[in-house]
Amino acid sequence: MKKLLLTAALICTIFSSFAQEGGYFFGGFESNAQWLLDDDGINFVAPEDNLRANNYFQLNYSLGKFTAGIQYEAYLPDALLGYSPVYENGNGIGTYYLNYKADKLDVTGGYFYEQFGSGLALRSWEDRQLGINNSIRGARVKYAINEYSDFTALYGQQRIGFEVSEATIQGLDANVDLSTAFGIEAVDLRFGASYVNRYQNQGTQTFLPSNVSIAGARLDFVAGSVYGGLEVDTKSKDALFFEGELVSEKLYDGTAMQVNLGYAQKGLGINGTFRRLENFNFYADRQAAGNQFNDQVVNYIPALSKTQDYLLTNLYVYNAQPGLVIEQAEQRAGEVGAQVDVFYTIKKGSTLGGKYGTKIAANFSYWGGLDAEYNVENRFYEAKFIGSGSRFYRDFNFEIKKKWTPKFSSVGTYQNVYIDKAISQGGFVGTQGEIQAQIAVIEGTYKLKNSQSIRGVVQHLWTEQDRENWMAAVVEYNFSSRFSMYVYDNWNYRELGYDGEESQIHYYSVGGSYTEGRTRLSMNYGRQRGGLICVGGVCRVVPESNGLSASLNISF
């Protein structure tokens, strides 16, 4: 540690001398810590290493056309609960890079992040809340051939904790603005194509393919108020693994299709997405398939359903199911479904709009398994394009936002959701299978003097399955734009406890945050309800816990 700090100080001294010649530093520090405590009420026993923290320090330096950066990470004394074991007790340099960017040429060496199209073929990114950093260590070149076409080429190995995968990733992505190339004025038309290959040594299992690849193409358009796009990808044959174990020596290919279509004008917006995935998992190491931490995922397959804002509307969330499973107890070939969003603003001055207007948003999503026939003994299946497969998830919800006076506004939300929790949420402890639930939420915000405001939320969830009914309430007071505090209680008032009686479990929390310039500190004490936490449609399992949490963010 002392050597690392001395090295960092030396680097900063050298960079500071460069900064006098016109360069500049930027970066940040982030620390997320937990102090875990025993809690008999939720049957939680704190581990011996009950003080945990995830820490990140990023330093970048830019000078002319060059930019260099380094990220130091420390998961000490241990990583936060629910994070991948690859980070346990780890510290060191997580990523580093050197970038050169000119008018047409952009070259990066070291670790980098990239996305091809919608990410169905490739997406490397960092999300600290989910514990994901699947950056690629190697080289990437971007080149703008002319005003309407460009390409990206990359080669490297994916990050796994403080190491990289043994397999190598090669990728090529090209984009053409067809409207500019052919002088089309009525429609904005863009075409793209991607190719991503993973080379992995066969070892002693010679039946495994060394090279597995995804190839795809996409077409996007905008014509007046209408916009849309189509992306189609295919994956070459590979064997099936689950959590490190070989399921079958038989090789299977995969496909993906995504269609977007939307309409937008003043006061009205409609957007729909259809997606079909068949055996479309893609990992830097095929043996990583099925791991719950999203380790070594090469492509990006989020759940396409509404991102909810409240405690209870996030109780039953969907997790995409692109994989193939052929077992005696269960058979799945992937997923197919769609979601539709409608946004409408009732005009000011109308009967329903009132003085300030009214905003209405509605969302519907449905996801199910592919309709397929299976021969488990011979490890064979045949899937229909859509068919009538098993239902995994269905959600209908709407939201009404209304400003009543210059000081008071409200939000009303209703959600009707069905979920097969055993499939959608991975079958972790507490799974009860099929669940039908309704959730109602009322939120109100009242503005006070001097940038102060008070916000209150009441919520209720009705269900006869799983842990039955819930109630929740939140009160938040903003003393200013910089300082706020909150208290909430998430009450599972119908579930039977460990003794067979109604448990009456309260998942309470109290906390606040303070912001000064580019520094933000937040703290909270309370219980963490177990389940899935999702960001952008990607989820990780969070165990139940109790304790004190703190987060510090500094940017410069």
Whether 166 shows a pLDDT value over 70: the answer reads yes
Determine the average pLDDT of the residues in 282-305: 92
Is 200 part of any domain? no
Under 8 Å between Cβ of 461 and 493: no
- Residue 13 is predicted with a pLDDT of 54
Is 20 part of any domain? no
Least reliable range by pLDDT among 14-23, 150-159, 250-259, 328-337: 14-23
Nearest to 62 by CA among 23, 105, 8: 23
Under 8 Å between Cβ of 431 and 421: yes
Range of the domain at 433: 303-555
Is 283 part of any domain? no
Q: What is the largest CA-CA distance in the chain?
A: 74
Is 393 part of any domain? yes
- Residue 428 is predicted with a pLDDT of 41
- Residue 533 is predicted with a pLDDT of 85
Main-chain dihedrals φ then ψ at residue 349, nearest 5 degrees:
90, -10
Task: Report the Cα–Cα distance between both ends of the chain, in Å, rounded.
Answer: 24
Mean of the per-residue pLDDT values of the chain = 91
- Residue 515 is predicted with a pLDDT of 96
- Residue 432 is predicted with a pLDDT of 55
Give residue-wise pLDDT tens across range 220-252: 999 999 999 999 999 999 999 887 888 888 999
- Residue 1 is predicted with a pLDDT of 45
Q: What percent of the chain has pLDDT over 90?
A: 75
The CATH number assigned to the domain holding 542 equals: 2.40.160
Is 58 part of any domain? no
Tokens of 492: 């599972």
pTM for the structure as a whole:
0.90
Is 470 part of any domain? yes
Q: Are strands 105-112 and 66-74 parallel, antiparallel or unpaired?
A: unpaired
Determine the average pLDDT of the residues in 443-462: 95
pLDDT band at 429 (very low <50, low <70, confident <90, very high): very low
Q: What percent of the chain has pLDDT over 70?
A: 93
Whether 186 shows a pLDDT value over 70: the answer reads yes
Q: Are strands 268-278 and 325-326 parallel, antiparallel or unpaired?
A: unpaired
* Cα-based distances in Å from 267 to 222, 223, 307, 359, 402: 19, 18, 22, 9, 15
Structural domains in the chain (count): 1
Determine the average pLDDT of the residues in 173-186: 95
Determine the average pLDDT of the residues in 408-424: 93
- Residue 236 is predicted with a pLDDT of 97
Is 326 part of any domain? yes
Is 273 part of any domain? no
Whether 499 shows a pLDDT value over 50: the answer reads no
Give residue-wise pLDDT tens across range 502-516: 568 899 999 999 999
If 0-12 CB within 10 Å is exposed, 13-18 middle and 19+ buried, where does residue 47 land? exposed
